[in-house]
Structure 1
Amino acid sequence: MPAINTSRHHGRLDLPTLRKRAKRLLTALKDNQASEARAQLCALGLPGPAYCLADTQWLVAREAGFASWPKLRAHADAVAFAARHPGFVADDETAVQHWRCGNDIEHSLRTAGFQGAFHMFDDPMVMGPVPTLPEPEYWQVRSAYAQQAFGLAASDIAQRQATQRLALAQLHADSEVVLWCEADAYDQLFLIRLLASLSSRPRRLELIEIAQVPGVERFIGIGQLAPDLLAWLWPQRRSLGDDALALARQTWAAYTAPDPRQWAQLAGQQHPVLPLLGPALARQLQELPGVDDGLSLTERLVLRILGEHGELPAGRVFAQLMQHDEPLPYLGDLMFHALLRPLIDAPQPLLREGQGNTWPQRLLQLTELGVRVLTGQAHWLDQQPPERWVGGVHLAAGKTPWVVSAEGQVWRR
């Protein structure tokens, strides 16, 4: 195989050229050419014949002196970042723990030179039962929901939960913790869950949270930002005190309670110590059945999109929701799919799903009942919809359900 480029001499990796080379190698392998590359892949335990781009990227990375393509990319990104920011020092130290509700910024943190440990707490507490229970029972409930809603294996969930629970249990008064959050309910619930779980305040407890970024037209989350923006955010972190922990414990108790009135009260207040919390609680409160139609706000927005645009692939509906209609975007694609299922699979469904190899390709359209609920001619709660949970509030047939007004007032229907 010819040499990839001159990076071995000057150390500067040309990622676009390396990507193109990996694609050309893949094409050559599929055309029964590139015998040397095939022999190298066989020696590495990849006999083929069905190769994919990741295989040739791996080979290209090894020829450049890296163990894998992600390690090559991380190195190239870090070098480019250092060139753009010669004066930036990520003074986080190795003892610092960076906590986030997903793994979407870990690569960018490493690229920017952050040295601390990274911890993920990704339980989507915006969905499914989040009841007040002792910890072992609580995690069992969350595991059962993740298996049912997302089709995840029990062993995978158990391993993920064990890792996260251990990391939480090891937080103590001498810990150094930095939390990275945005304004939506997914992140704010992660924030209060972690803070409420602390038995004492760590000696360093800092928060980085943002609701918008200058120059970003539609800010959805920190994970969409380039490493340069994480360097911009780092000096904006602020310390949290005991008042933040007290508010988190109060809010967590309200969110997990079967009665949402205390939650609604907190949602209607300003909280200077955690200023993004109130709006996020108010948005999540709208996932309770609306007083006029029985729909959550997410369900209502989906029906409106289909009512305005007609039949659409589910992926297009999701894109429209996230990019335009959702006031505080918080959903991932799998979460969106899980939220759609009760509207499709109910005995009297609101949505009809077409055929397709993958769910984003399947066409969605309103049923006759969906049109009637959307136009105020029928109420979803009168159709015996599938049971669901919002925080600690259980909504099930035969129960007098809690409903919410557009202004955030809650009462039993």
Structure 2
Amino acid sequence: MDRIVHVCNGDSTADTLSLADLPGEIVVWADALDQGPVLNVPDAEHWKIRGEFWASRGYADDPAKLSAWDRGVDEAAAAEELILWFEHDLFDQLALIRLLARLARRGLPSTLTIVSIDRHPEVPNFLGLGQLKPEQLAELWPRRTPLSRDAIDEAITAWIAVTSPDPRALPFLSRRIKAMPFLAGALERQLEEFPDPTSGLSRTERQLLAAVARGAATGGDLMQAAQAIDPRYPLTDGLLVTTLKELGRCGFVDGAPTSAPAPDAFKDVRVTITATGRQALAGALDRIHEHGIDDWRGGVRLHGKGPVWRWDSAQRKLLER
């Protein structure tokens, strides 16, 4: 029998897929490229940089784990068919363009197909493939589609843009992507994570701060509020804790976590907005000028009290301030 390999976006999807009674092996690739430095560098340097970043955040995604994910996909490329299970959101689309750029460079499999959705009729608030039951994943299998050369070329171009220290190609690409149905939206969502021109807050920071201002205090309430309005970037518990820590550092919320993210740490969260936080939310002060920033958006370092790259969503343009 021809070898078939499924590559999916995390252990949750992999576990459910293993119960779906589909032919083939399952490989996981799950580095969260929406966070930390993502540079176009040789493998060993990439794994080292990413491992150091995750260690700084309190996670154990060391270089060995990251390299094992890449090598698992490299080996899977020898299969007769490689199926990529990646949904619509920013996390998955960034992973997808990295994998496609890597496969194109190292050698494409004989048949390369994808299962990618942004909704499901039986899941009203669809966030990702990890929500689906084994039989629901099995029903998607016959709907897998071949990845065209145009789609692969778009992924390569997008990967180069995302990993560049200059983000100015991203707005152009977000208007030109055609062959990959969810990539343009993901690139736009990536741009929305850059600081805004007035408050210096990212969209995620602004949404969380607004939810706290409306009275959401617990981790569960904040997760629900964020996920309800942001389907292209569903908030994870780790990102929630990290973002609240940053808002706390700036004095915008009281009660923010102070330690590294840990399993279920978000359940202990109980925060309130401060007067300064309300000022930031109203755009009356600039977080970056007041408190500085030390973060990454792909290959772009955001550091110090400015100027840094910002995204003006109303004008749909990047600027430095």
SS at match of 2:271: strand
Displacement after TM superposition at 1:116 (Å): 1.1
TM-score by length of 2: 0.91
Amino acid at match of 2:92: D
Q: Please state whether the residue corresponding to 1:132 is helix, strand or coil.
A: coil
Q: Which amino acid aligns with 2:251?
A: P
Partner SS for 2:310: strand
Looking at structure 2, the residues matched to 399 and 377 of structure 1 have their Cα atoms a distance apart, in angstroms, of 17
What are the Cα deviations for residues 168-205 of structure 1, in whole angstroms up to 9, with x where unaligned? 33244654200011110101111111000012321110
In the TM superposition, 1:395-410 aligns within 5 A as 395-407=302-314, 408-410=316-318
User: Are 1:99 and 2:24 an aligned pair?
Assistant: no
1:200 correspondence with 2:107: yes
User: Where does residue 298 of structure 2 map in the other structure?
Assistant: 391
1:307 aligns with 213
Aligned match of 2:169? 262
Larger Cα-atom Rg: 1
Task: Give the RMSD, CA atoms, in angstroms.
Answer: 2.1
Report if the CA contact (8 A) 1:301-1:326 is conserved. no
CA distance in 1, matches of 2:182, 2:223: 25
1:67-216 pair list within 5 angstroms: 95-149=3-57, 151-153=58-60, 157-172=62-77, 175-198=80-103, 199-216=106-123
In structure 2, what is the Cα distance between the partners aligned to 1:283 and 1:392? 16
Q: Deviations over 1:42-86 (max 9, x none)?
A: xxxxxxxxxxxxxxxxxxxxxxxxxxxxxxxxxxxxxxxxxxxxx
In structure 2, give the amino acid aligned to 1:361: D
* Structure 2 match to 1:334: 238
Rate the CA distance shift 1:170–1:215 in 2: closer, same or farther, 3 A: closer
Match of 1:236 among 143, 163, 170: 143
User: Retained in 2: the 8 A contact 1:267–1:281?
Assistant: yes
- Where does residue 281 of structure 1 map in the other structure? 187
- Alpha carbons 2:16, 2:133 under 8 Å: kept: yes
Tell me by how many angstroms 1:144 deviates. 0.7
SS of the counterpart of 2:272? strand
Asked whether the equivalents of residues 241 and 265 of structure 2 are also in contact (C-alpha less than 8 Å), the reply is no
Q: Shift of residue 377 of structure 1?
A: 1.4
Give the secondary structure class of the aligned counterpart of 1:144.
Answer: helix
Cα drift, residue 243 of structure 1: 2.2
CA distance in 2, matches of 1:174, 1:111: 21
Aligned partner of 1:268: which letter? R
**How far did 1:396 drift?**
0.7
Q: Provide the C-alpha distance between the structure 2 equivalents of 1:114 and 1:205, rounded to a whole number of angstroms.
A: 17
Unaligned runs of 5+ residues in structure 2 are: 259-263
Partner of 1:325: 229
- The equivalent of 1:56 in structure 2 is none
Give the Cα separation in 2 of the matches to 1:184 and 1:355: 26
SS of 1:388's equivalent in the other structure is strand
8 A Cα contact 2:127 2:231, kept in partner = no
- SS of residue matched to 1:97: strand
Matched, 1:351 2:253: yes
Hey, what's the Cα distance between the residues in 1 that align with 2:27 and 2:49?
22
In the alignment, the residues of structure 2 paired with residue 100 and residue 326 of structure 1 have an alpha-carbon distance, to the nearest angstrom, of 22
Contact 1:94 1:115 in 2 (8 A): no
For 1:117 and 1:302, the matched residues in 2 are separated by 39
1:355, CA displacement in angstroms?
Answer: 8.4
Contact 1:201 1:242 (C-alpha < 8 Å) held by counterparts: no
User: Which residue in 1 is equivalent to 2:283?
Assistant: 376
Q: Does 1:218 align with 2:122?
A: no
Secondary structure of 2:122 counterpart = coil
For residues 211-259 of structure 1, give each alpha carbon's deviation from its aligned partner in whole angstroms, at most 9, with x where no partner exists. Answer: 1111321100011011121122111111113222221111000001111
Structure 2 partner of 1:36:
none
| Structure-1 separation of matches of 2:155 and 2:257 | 45
**Preserved contact between residue 289 and residue 404 of structure 1 (Cα < 8 Å):** yes
Deviates more, 1:203-212 or 1:234-243: 234-243
2:261 corresponds to = none
